[in-house]
Structure 1
Amino acid sequence: MRRVRYESAGGPLFVEDVPVPAPGAGEVLVRCDAVGVTLPMVRKVTEAAEPVPLGGEVAGEVVAAGQDVTRFRVGDRVTGLCFGHGYAEFALLHEAMTSPVPDDADAVTAVALVRSGLVALGALDAARLAPGESVLVTAAASGIGHLAVQLARARGAGRVLGAVSNPTGTADPAGPTKADFVRSLGADGCVRYDDGTWGDPVDCVLDAVGGDLLTPAVAALAPHGRLVAYSSGGGTVRAYDLLVGAKSVIGFQMALIARGRPDVYERWRRELWRLFAEGAVKPVVHGEFALEDAAAAHAVITSRANLGKVVLRP
């Protein structure tokens, strides 16, 4: 099979031919029809001290199942998170991190919707969003962010704002700007990270960026506001900035939920597909790339040019 690999930090991505892996206990082998490209994976390529497997979200058909697998069988269409080599024609998924794909959805839709949508739903739950409250979503044009904007509206938010690096930026000069894109998703407005103020305070901030952006994100909160951090970008929050407004910061990680609270994971998954079927949420795919063009796909993420999800098609 073909898979993408690299040999040194920041080094070039290349395609190699390797044997198809065999599933171990609790694993399924999936023939990949679509693979999601994520910012955390792109960051690992450039920042990790040693090369790591290029993993992430995959969708396709189960072609083999390991011992102790009970929920899936050969021929099932699934999507899930691959912790090994996912930029490949075949990938191994742990059963706990795998979920079925409805008959009326294709692989690209599944890989664009499920993992990113589950993170967005989970972040909204962690924020304890109440109907009528206001929400600001950072990285609002990203794979997760563009779904979080829609889901916040579907969950009854009274005001939804997006924050992006460059509202006038676009990968296509003839296409919509990021601000246009975010508003088309149902946002009431779009702000730039380095604006002096992000407008009227909000009840919740869903942050996928981290780093230096945490300070203005906390400042954007109204008294008793909640910041949900689900970024791989790190960062520090000053305790005083929380104390003066009785604000809180909540960390969120999907893997802990999938492994430790499968009932919650399944509830979110069902809600996500229901909202998709009702037309309340629609994943947007920025572009589809061949395995040989994985470096170009990463470049789209690195340049923050994407409007929606970036997908590889093995």
Structure 2
Amino acid sequence: MRRVRYEVNGGPEVLFAEEAPVPEPGPGELLVRSEAVGVTLPVVRRMREGAEPGPLGGEVAGTVVAVGENVTGFAVGDRVTGLCFSHGYAELALIHQAMASRIPDRATAVDAVALVRSGLVARGAYQAGRPRPDDAVLVTAAASAVGTLALQYAKAAEASRVVAAVSSADKAEFVRALGADEVVLYGDESWGDPVDVVIDGVGGELLGPAVRALAAGGRLVAFSSGGGTIDAYELLARGASAIGFQMAAIARGKPEVYARWLDELWELHRNGTLRPRVFAEIPLAEAAHAHEIIESRRNLGKVVLMPQG
């Protein structure tokens, strides 16, 4: 089978395609013939910053072709999506059953990788901010896969004002079409009137202006892998709070909540409330190009690799 891996860290130029043996599913694992693989910023960052080369994991969607021992609830022929923590950039990938979910008949594999992980993170991060219907909400990385869905969640929840923070002015029309009432740029001196909740998917140096955008008693929810430091005085001056959100903690620690959120997510997709955006569908062998798009912040929505293309 074909897969993509890298030998040394440092940039997208080290990605290359190779032939590899078909993996054997272990206990609790599903072997999936991949039809779509979602490219995520955390994976791109790990490749860039990691001390050691390693497998490129990711969001995988496709059809189960084999199951390991002790698998329950899934069978050969099921269409599933889930996170692969080994070699996800591949024609065949392993997903543990705890991280897998079925794809509804009406949805495609591309729908699944554009919606499921990004939608669950967007929903969970938004909820972690304890929003009220009349709150003003600001979303950073608003043109990203998670950000586009977080904007739509905020509008559906009847936020009084939804502000999209983006890296460049050429993204303004795109995020306004998704429901943003206002658009600000990362480099703007001010992000306008204060907001009650900031959903931050960037981290790093952007944490400073994100905290300063908060109203009294506001909440910053950080879900980014970008790190960064928050000035405690800035929180104190506003009586504000910072909250970290990690989707894996819900998936592993609260499976019943995870399952309920997943059902709600697909229903919101079915009724048109959530409309994931796909920026590009790229052949697997061109994964380096997909990473370059993410790193340069050019994507408007999800970047998807197509293993069978």
Q: Considering the TM-score relative to the shorter chain, is it more than 0.5? A: yes
Local SS of the residue matching 1:244: helix
Aligned mate of 1:208, from 177, 181, 201: 201
- The aligned residue for residue 276 of structure 2 is 283
Q: Which residue of 1 aligns with 2:4?
A: 4
Tell me the amino acid that sits aligned with residue 274 of structure 2: V
How many pairs align? 305
Q: For residues 76-97 of structure 1, give each alpha carbon's deviation from its aligned partner in whole angstroms, at most 9, with x where no partner exists.
A: 1111111111000011111111
Q: In the alignment, is the contact (CA less than 8 A) between 1:80 and 1:98 conserved in 2?
A: yes
| Residue 271 (structure 1) aligned with residue 260 (structure 2) | no
1:109 to 108, 111, 133: 111
- The correspondence for 2:245, drawn from 252, 270, 293, is 252
Contiguous gaps of at least 5 residues in structure 2: none
Distance 1:99 1:62 in 2: 11
Q: Which residue of 2 aligns with 1:222?
A: 215
Aligned residue runs from structure 1 range 144-223, under 5 A:
144-168=146-170, 178-223=171-216
Report whether the alignment pairs 1:307 with 2:309: no
The corresponding residue for 1:95 is 97
Residue 133 (structure 2) aligned to one of 128, 131, 134: 131
Give 1:270 shift: 1.0
SS at match of 2:145: coil
- Rounded to whole Å, the distance in 2 between the matches of 1:104 and 1:113 is 13
Instruction: Give the distance between the partners of 1:131 and 1:267, measured in 2 at CA.
Output: 21
% identity of equivalent residues: 65
Which whole-Å CA distance do the structure 1 matches of 2:127 and 2:15 have between them?
37
> How far does residue 271 in structure 1 lie from its aligned partner after superposition?
1.1
Query: Matches of 2:235 and 2:270 in 1, distance apart?
Result: 39
User: 1:44 touches 1:52 (CA, 8 Å); kept in 2?
Assistant: no
Q: 1:156 Cα shift?
A: 2.1
What CA distance in whole angstroms lies between the structure 2 residues aligned with 1:214 and 1:73? 45
Q: Distance in 2 between matches of 1:291 and 1:59?
A: 14
Q: TM-score, normalised by structure 2?
A: 0.97
Kindly report the root-mean-square deviation, in angstroms, between the aligned alpha carbons of the 2 structures: 0.8
Q: Distance in 1 between matches of 2:167 and 2:144?
A: 11
Aligned-residue offset at 1:65: 1.2
Shift of 1:155: 2.0
Alignment partners' CA distance in 2, 1:132 and 1:110 = 31
Whether the aligned pair in 2 keeps the contact of 1:203 and 1:221 (CA below 8 Å) is yes
Q: Normalised by the size of structure 1, how large is the TM-score?
A: 0.96
Give the Cα–Cα distance (whole angstroms) in 1 for the partners of residues 157 and 73 of structure 2: 30
Q: Which runs of 4+ in 1 moved over 3 A?
A: none
Output the amino acid matched with 1:228.
Answer: V
Partner of 1:46: 48
